Structure 1
Amino acid sequence: MDFKIETLETDILIIGGGAAGCFCALSIVEKSKLKVIIAEKANIKRSGCLSAGVNALNAYIGKGESEESFVDYVKRDSENVIREDLVYSIAKRLNKVTEKIEALGLPILKDEKGNYIQRGKRSIKINGENIKPILADEVNRRDNIKVLNRVNIIDYLIKDGEVNGAIGFSNEESTIYVIHSKFVVCSTGGTSGIYKPNNPGFSKHKMWYSPFNTGAGYAMGIRAGAEMTSFEMRFIALRCKDTIAPTGTIAQGVKVKQVNKYGETYVEKYGKPTTPMRLYATVMENYKGNGPCYLNTKGIPEELSEDLFKAYLNMAPAQTLKWIEKNTSPSQENVEIDGTEPYIVGGHTASGYWVDVDRRTTLRRLYAIGDVAGGSPKKYVTGCFAEGEIAAESIIKNVKGVVIKKSDYKEIGQKIHEMTMFFYNKSTFSIKDIEEAMQNIMDKYAGGISKAYKYNMKGLETALEKIQELNSSVYKLQANNMHELMFIYEIIDRLDVCRVLIEHLKARKETRWRCYTENEDYPVKDDTNWLKYVNSIYKNEKVEIVFRDLIGRYDTYEH
């Protein structure tokens, strides 16, 4: 493969053109004359978690709520281990960024008085099937933003201890991109596909989190030595069975309870109805033989039933199609629910880069926003917008006097050589073989769906050993085209995330978030010893665990 090398320079490089990345770029050019490049693996018009749309904004300060009560809610739901300073900084911007996305053209449902229609205390209804095209169109209108679609970034470039750009390749042409910049913003999303999916085989793409978010941003930071946090706080979604459609649309929108096969409500039997507990209670009811479990929609008014048909067409049409194919509706029968496989995602839990309140990582000149930024669960769409705006304002404030430092050819040449060698390999196993082996290891030994999300220390040690063996095999894979090269790097990234995840699961010797961390050797929550963050730094080919004290909402933290 003969590669063409294209070298670019810009003020700001944003890696990942999802919700956070696009909003950050818009915030930068609205408030400065800086030039921005967005590098996106797919196409910003339909990329990231919002690619298919969304029917609510689930982080909003509703009537009767406040910024303080929002932080209290996140803290309570996350069993007290969050970065309160980060959540508070998001809370202060949620309603403002909602108004901004509405001004760009997002339809938000309103009552006869012109007020947003709330779905819950912290959620408002929208018609959001085109939320991503709305963002993309606005980005494409801006002269100071250059978008590189179908470009897969694989690693940061580092000069004198500072991130000064990144390197990647086109998914369609034999072109390698070397991009130098004054600052880099990582907004690539979280990690799916590391565990065996609950719809394996032909329907393996039917998962809760975007199947195209494969941990690139986390992995690049891990390899570069960034401090990471809370990977052990996995996210496992409670979803409509088979379609993996959101349950909150029903639970919050229609306000119905979870019931078992006997019609009994069951969540409160196990504890306070937090997000993890709703999942754990369902898992336990199935384990005890009281399943299947359902959302109790049977008998709801036909008007509400019709609303659910429309709502799911906005974001999960498979659920609406399932009702139509069976000639039924949510008012005629309850909706069966089940858990998904685990994901690593900082928009719902606290996994990601360890950042300060400006979203600066521990690597100089590198910011992290959205699902890759750790410490602040339940940020959802508007929280990602808020973090994009926060990072933009910090960059504008600190960019004066910063110059671009170009990496030398040795560093760049090593990465080009690595990419090239995949076209010369003669492998006896395929990309799919490695992927399925990884998923089976994580499922069996690191708390996958087949094990009811439970794991133990011996299993984790086994998982780590087997993942490291796979990691040595992945560099022997063969690529026949640029698209296959992208698949190989997605496997490399997911294996790096697996390794850090396993070390974090080993380090937290308690069970704090039911199912998320279901440690059979340490089955009890231990507030005496574990009200702390589990962080890590990858050094000398080893994952070093770092424990940090909790940070309050009014505390000032600096790296």
Structure 2
Amino acid sequence: MHFERIKTDILIIGGGTAGCFAALTIASESDACIFVAEKANIRRSGCLAAGVNAINAYITKGQTPQDYVEYAKEDAKGIVREDLLLSMAEKLNEVTEKLEDLGLVIQKDEDGGYTARGKRNIKINGENIKPILADSLKNLPKVKVMNHINITDYLVEDNQIKGAFGFHVEEKVWYLIQAKAVICTTGGASGLYRPNNPGFSRHKMWYSPFNTGAGYAMGIRSGAEMTTFEMRFIALRCKDTIAPTGTIAQGVGAEQVNTYGENYEKKYGRTTSERVYGTVRENIEGRGPCYLKTKAISKEQEEELYRAYLNMAPSQTLHWMEKRKGPGAEDVEIEGTEPYIVGGHTASGYWVDYSRQTTIHGLYAAGDVAGGCPQKYVSGALAEGEIAAKAALSYIRDRELMSVSVSEIKRKEQEYLSFFHNDRCIFTTDQVEEAMQKVMDQYAGGISSDYQFNQNQLRIAEEKIKLLFDISKKLNANDMDDLMKIYEVRERLEVCQTLIAHLRARKETRWHCFCENMDYPKQSDAWNLYVNSRMENGKLQIIYRELVAGGERYEHSN
């Protein structure tokens, strides 16, 4: 493998929503050199690859940023960072307008204002939202975007970031990227659990199937403090296509009903987790399947749903066309997905301060990878990208690149090469991943167990995941694509280990389905705490922190 060294002022890992906007912000406010490392191709990478039909976080007329904070706080049953939520909410409208200036088509009402969809959403034509963000970086002289670079490890000394290691996923080249500051925007983690659709359709899931939790795993290994992994995210989605249900629920006001046509939302509650929980319970108690009640909507509403799904989940529109039965002819069946770890919807991720700096000096996190601030969606990721970018700019002022020893470089090279030199392993990467998903599904609250678990099951899961991680060290790579897949499954396994530790540590059930602990089936005020963790001397230590109340602003003390 050929070695290349790259030097820059700020390294951005991940060219998704937050990463693109962070780079754009830095370029507009400084002459700093920016290097964006993207595992796929920045034009169609990450969660927005296929598009989206709404900005789901927006302060509409009559609402305030504080209203948004209260909404997110209620949905998460209080386990949020109010300081992070407010700083994000105050920027939602501003960054949305900037996105419109870049070329995003936002639908307008008859008065010329944005067309609202509920209290906090506005409608967009967003099939090209990712190319718009990518194109905004094209001609910026200080921004270098490099596609197909898989970053695997931070380079940290005395708890200060020095850069990162990675390799090209197609060419036999590996890299040391030295930087004065690093912004991680890699996204959350999918593929930890057995998915709704098996076999060749296993990637038909709600969250991007290529988000492996790489940013989480790098932070965990480097000793960064992580938070609230136990607040998993389970999406309520259209059956089989796994298309979003909010477009129907909010777009045409569809109620959730059981097989007898009974509305069960009021019975279980209307928070995100309760909507999933109600659906699960109705099925368990013999009143399934469950549906969104769309039968008899108008022809105009039906046509609007066809168009909306073509912007973000074309398979749903194609499904209706294939059956020759649209949502006006029959209700839409719904189901829960497998659990994900994603800080854009729940509060999982890095423990950050007000400026989005992690507990590693000079390392910042934004978007799905940053914890404490749920309900971000697209505009919240933009806002955090901007916040982290400005903080990183301030951090690098008068700083020089830190030196990297030859021994550090050699150690990483040997690690990469070891997977090519391994004797042929009796297991494949796919087999290890499938085994991991089976373990998590059966013992750590997956679909087959109705998202429930107990302490003994988690102990079994912990043992089995550790065994699989040991096996992963022996996997064999024949080319760079194989090497990428090995690192992806190892990243998922590391995230699984942290997730299991967090699920065991919160001894209550605060969020039905998201964290359904059958040994502790009730919510307790004693657990108005953040469950955090940090790797110390190879062992994961659980840290309990008091809530950061409204009006307070948290800053790291280390």
1:338 aligns with 2:321: no
Amino acid at match of 1:45: R
1:282-305 per-residue CA deviation (whole Å, 9 max, x = no partner) reads 000000010000000000000000
SS in 2 for 1:521: coil
**Which residue of structure 1 aligns with residue 157 of structure 2?**
159
How do residues 35-46 of structure 1 correspond to structure 2 at under 5 angstroms? 35-46=33-44
| Separation of aligned partners in 2, 1:156 and 1:399 | 17
1:77 aligns with 2:82: no
**Which residue of structure 2 aligns with residue 28 of structure 1?**
26
**Which residue of structure 1 aligns with residue 317 of structure 2?**
320
Cα deviation, residue 201, structure 1: 1.0
Cα contact 2:362–2:395 (8 A) shared by 1:
no
| Separation of aligned partners in 2, 1:398 and 1:227 | 20
| Separation of aligned partners in 1, 2:243 and 2:493 | 27
Cα contact 1:39–1:149 (8 A) shared by 2:
yes
Cα deviation, residue 255, structure 1: 0.9
| Separation of aligned partners in 2, 1:175 and 1:391 | 30
Cα deviation, residue 540, structure 1: 1.6
Aligned length: 555
Cα deviation, residue 552, structure 1: 2.0
| Separation of aligned partners in 2, 1:398 and 1:463 | 41
| Separation of aligned partners in 1, 2:96 and 2:271 | 25
What are the ranges of 5 or more consecutive residues in structure 2 without an aligned counterpart? none
SS in 1 for 2:241: coil
1:549 aligns with 2:539: no
Cα deviation, residue 546, structure 1: 0.1
**Which residue of structure 2 aligns with residue 378 of structure 1?**
375
Cα deviation, residue 217, structure 1: 0.0
| Separation of aligned partners in 2, 1:294 and 1:122 | 24
**Which residue of structure 1 aligns with residue 277 of structure 2?**
280
How do residues 2-13 of structure 1 correspond to structure 2 at under 5 angstroms? 3-13=1-11
**Which residue of structure 1 aligns with residue 243 of structure 2?**
245
**Which residue of structure 1 aligns with residue 418 of structure 2?**
421
**Which residue of structure 2 aligns with residue 108 of structure 1?**
106
1:416-435 per-residue CA deviation (whole Å, 9 max, x = no partner) reads 10110111112111011100
How do residues 66-215 of structure 1 correspond to structure 2 at under 5 angstroms? 66-215=64-213
2:326 aligns with one of 292, 314, 329: 329
Cα deviation, residue 375, structure 1: 0.3
Cα deviation, residue 63, structure 1: 1.1
| Separation of aligned partners in 2, 1:161 and 1:367 | 13
How do residues 430-449 of structure 1 correspond to structure 2 at under 5 angstroms? 430-449=428-447
| Separation of aligned partners in 2, 1:384 and 1:223 | 24
| Separation of aligned partners in 1, 2:383 and 2:550 | 16
Cα deviation, residue 396, structure 1: 2.0
Amino acid at match of 1:306: E
Amino acid at match of 1:324: M
Cα deviation, residue 413, structure 1: 1.3
1:332-391 per-residue CA deviation (whole Å, 9 max, x = no partner) reads 100000000000000000000000010000001100000000000001000000001101
Q: Percent identity?
A: 59
| Separation of aligned partners in 2, 1:479 and 1:500 | 26
How do residues 458-469 of structure 1 correspond to structure 2 at under 5 angstroms? 458-469=456-467
Amino acid at match of 1:522: Y
| Separation of aligned partners in 1, 2:220 and 2:393 | 26
1:499-534 per-residue CA deviation (whole Å, 9 max, x = no partner) reads 00000000000000110000000000101x100100
**Which residue of structure 2 aligns with residue 64 of structure 1?**
62
**Which residue of structure 2 aligns with residue 263 of structure 1?**
261
Cα contact 1:158–1:407 (8 A) shared by 2:
no
**Which residue of structure 2 aligns with residue 18 of structure 1?**
16
Cα deviation, residue 399, structure 1: 2.0
Cα contact 1:152–1:171 (8 A) shared by 2:
yes
SS in 1 for 2:552: coil
| Separation of aligned partners in 2, 1:251 and 1:41 | 34
Cα deviation, residue 397, structure 1: 2.2
1:399-421 per-residue CA deviation (whole Å, 9 max, x = no partner) reads 21111002212122111101101
1:536 aligns with 2:500: no
| Separation of aligned partners in 2, 1:236 and 1:214 | 16
Farther off after superposition, 549-558 or 475-484? 549-558
1:167-199 per-residue CA deviation (whole Å, 9 max, x = no partner) reads 000001000011000000000000000100010
Cα deviation, residue 553, structure 1: 3.2
Cα deviation, residue 256, structure 1: 1.2
| Separation of aligned partners in 2, 1:44 and 1:519 | 39
Cα contact 1:86–1:553 (8 A) shared by 2:
no
Cα contact 2:181–2:395 (8 A) shared by 1:
no
Cα deviation, residue 470, structure 1: 0.7
| Separation of aligned partners in 2, 1:285 and 1:416 | 54
**Which residue of structure 2 aligns with residue 50 of structure 1?**
48
1:392 aligns with one of 389, 394, 410: 389
SS in 2 for 1:467: helix
Cα deviation, residue 22, structure 1: 0.3
Amino acid at match of 2:239: K
| Separation of aligned partners in 1, 2:184 and 2:270 | 34
Cα contact 1:58–1:123 (8 A) shared by 2:
yes
| Separation of aligned partners in 2, 1:73 and 1:193 | 29
| Separation of aligned partners in 2, 1:342 and 1:439 | 11
Cα deviation, residue 394, structure 1: 1.2
| Separation of aligned partners in 1, 2:161 and 2:376 | 26
2:350 aligns with one of 350, 353, 356: 353
Cα contact 1:230–1:504 (8 A) shared by 2:
yes
Cα deviation, residue 453, structure 1: 0.2
**Which residue of structure 1 aligns with residue 293 of structure 2?**
296
Q: TM-score, normalised by structure 1?
A: 0.99
1:258-295 per-residue CA deviation (whole Å, 9 max, x = no partner) reads 0000000002112x311110000000000001000000
| Separation of aligned partners in 1, 2:193 and 2:276 | 17
| Separation of aligned partners in 1, 2:532 and 2:418 | 34
Cα deviation, residue 202, structure 1: 1.2
SS in 2 for 1:120: coil
Cα deviation, residue 392, structure 1: 1.2
Farther off after superposition, 156-165 or 411-420? 156-165
Amino acid at match of 2:68: F
| Separation of aligned partners in 1, 2:188 and 2:274 | 22
SS in 2 for 1:140: coil
Cα contact 2:183–2:389 (8 A) shared by 1:
no
Cα contact 1:190–1:346 (8 A) shared by 2:
yes
| Separation of aligned partners in 2, 1:466 and 1:142 | 48
| Separation of aligned partners in 1, 2:498 and 2:470 | 16
Cα contact 1:87–1:553 (8 A) shared by 2:
no
Amino acid at match of 1:500: T
2:511 aligns with one of 510, 513, 530: 513
1:118-154 per-residue CA deviation (whole Å, 9 max, x = no partner) reads 0110000000000000011111121111011000000
SS in 2 for 1:178: strand
Cα contact 1:159–1:407 (8 A) shared by 2:
no
1:364 aligns with 2:352: no
